[in-house]
Amino acid sequence: MNDGRTKVGIGFATGRRHFQRVLRSYVYNWKESELVDSRELTLNLFVAYDLNYKNTKKANYTKISSGVDELLFSKHFIGQKEVEEEKRELIKRGIVDSEEASLVFGKGYASQRNIVLYSALKNHIDCLLYLDDDEYPVAVTNDMGSVSWMGQHLLKTHLNYIDQADITYGYHCGYISPIPFIEFSPALPEDTFRLFIEAISNDIVKWETLKRLIVAGGVSYADPKILNSGEVFEVEEVNHAKFISGSNLCLNLKDPGRLFPFYNPPGARGEDTFLSTCLSDRRVLKVPSHAFHNAFSTYNHILMGVLPTSLRPIRADSRDIVRRFYRSCIGWIRYKPLLLYITDRNNYSKKIEEMKINLRETLPSISSYFGTDSFYNISKELNKYHKSVEKHYEQFERVKEIWSKISDYLREAH
């Protein structure tokens, strides 16, 4: 146990080669915000890494420089070997069986987040901040074409409020959407693209918001009013969900019984969205901390102190940009049937049929605009995940039940 100090966890689910640069930026940010030298808390790092995602090596994550290492109280690196060891231990103690362990700690992003959460609870962490390896602690604003940058104390802001909530989460700026800049024309009219996006995205994404983002070249700027006011507000439930983001996200771990696991259908994303559907009687606060999302890896040099004077629109003029947008569309369509099933079951069948019709009408133009027939796979994936929606719902409920057993074990064991 610890000596009365708050044990703060920082969790990364990562697979990118530049992770060390991201970590260094954050650690020195914590030092600058006077958290490293605080006598009231300790900073404990939890890194779940995937070597297959970008063909990386263990050392890309574990080989921390001495200057960074000495500023952290403890470090926990979780690769596939460590995950299997934890699964074996839980099975050996009779907490879960092999299938149950694999459901919660299998492959994918949700499982990575779950093993980070499990490890934090096992180490008596009081709160856990999730950060992404493509987000940096800076905010960018745009005043009449003049771009300004402001450092952000993400962790310090969350610590100011997490004792008053079950979950706190902050804002994102930069390239928060994978949708590239679109030049509407007779070949791809605005209404066609709107129907396509509405078919594949969740209900919280409003077209008018996305349209402004597309016109702005895919760039979201921080709101100076939020930066200056420091406003905090409680997140309201919309369509049976209190929507959160998966990073710049802090969980209060003091009562493990109030926690839920992450889940997504196999091969899909949406682990933060499905957690959102569990939070009806939880207190969720939106706090004024911004992270710059470098979704297209266009501005890695920000980590070296080079701040752009303008942010370029992301155009669909390269294979990598188109491929990233396509993968995002596939990820969205794979989780939308389950989201609809959870949040609007009475209208589920009707909405699925509307999606099918809208995709049939729009995919020819979408495929032509982006120069690839790959987008036709979106309809196939919709049919596949629609047929499996009841199975995925049962799986989601099971994951929550299994997590409850694991939480009970951790409480009793410690």
The CATH number that applies at residue 94 is 3.90.550
What is the 8-class DSSP label of residue 213?
H
Report the chain (414 residues): mean pLDDT per 10 consecutive residues. 84 94 96 95 97 93 95 97 97 97 93 98 97 95 90 97 97 90 91 94 76 84 91 93 95 95 94 96 97 87 89 87 93 95 96 98 97 97 98 98 96 76
Q: Are 126 and 89 in contact (CB under 8 A)?
A: no
**In this structure, is the dihedral angle defined by the CA atoms of residues 210, 212, 213 and 215, taken in order, positive or negative?**
positive
Q: What is the pLDDT of residue 2?
A: 52
Task: Show the tokens assigned to 96.
Answer: 């879960």
User: 236: exposed, middle or buried (C-beta count within 10 Å: 0-12, 13-18, 19+)?
Assistant: exposed
Q: Is 344 within a domain?
A: no
Q: What is the spatial distance between Cα 180 and Cα 312, in angstroms, rounded to a whole number?
A: 11
Q: What is the spatial distance between Cα 227 and Cα 224, in angstroms, rounded to a whole number?
A: 5
Among 222, 266, 213, 275, smallest CA distance to 246 is for 275
Q: What is the spatial distance between Cα 362 and Cα 11, in angstroms, rounded to a whole number?
A: 40
Q: What is the spatial distance between Cα 28 and Cα 44, in angstroms, rounded to a whole number?
A: 14
Q: What is the pLDDT of residue 205?
A: 67
Q: Are 161 and 236 in contact (CB under 8 A)?
A: no
**What proportions of the chain, in percent to the nearest 5, are helix, strand and coil?**
50, 20, 35
Task: Show the tokens assigned to 68.
Answer: 């960074």
φ, ψ of residue 142 to 5 degrees: the values are: -135, 110
Q: Is 364 within a domain?
A: no
Per the listing, tokens 């060891």 go with: 85
Q: Are 273 and 109 in contact (CB under 8 A)?
A: no
Q: Is 140 within a domain?
A: yes
Q: Is 211 within a domain?
A: no
Give the range of the structural domain holding residue 18, as residue numbers without chain letter. Answer: 6-179+217-313+398-413
Q: What is the pLDDT of residue 217?
A: 79
Q: Is 47 within a domain?
A: yes
H-helix segments, 162-315: 190-200, 207-215, 224-229, 271-276
Q: What is the spatial distance between Cα 189 and Cα 312, in angstroms, rounded to a whole number?
A: 23
Q: What is the pLDDT of residue 414?
A: 64
The model carries a pTM of 0.96
Q: What is the pLDDT of residue 162?
A: 98
Q: Is 238 within a domain?
A: yes
Q: What is the spatial distance between Cα 403 and Cα 121, in angstroms, rounded to a whole number?
A: 12
Euclidean distance between the first and the last CA atom of the chain, given in angstroms as a whole number: 9
Q: What is the spatial distance between Cα 192 and Cα 252, in angstroms, rounded to a whole number?
A: 43
Taking phi over 0 as left and psi of -120 to 50 as alpha, with beta for the rest, 98 belongs to alpha
Q: What is the spatial distance between Cα 15 and Cα 246, in angstroms, rounded to a whole number?
A: 16
Q: Is 253 within a domain?
A: yes
Give the total number of structural domains in the chain: 1
Q: Is 335 within a domain?
A: no
Q: What is the dihedral of CA 368, 369, 374, 378, to 10 degrees?
A: -100
Q: What is the spatial distance between Cα 93 and Cα 405, in angstroms, rounded to a whole number?
A: 12
Q: Are 28 and 136 in contact (CB under 8 A)?
A: no
Among 95, 111, 93, 100, smallest CA distance to 53 is for 111
List Cα–Cα distances, 16 to 94, 170, 239, 256, 298, in angstroms.
35, 23, 34, 30, 14
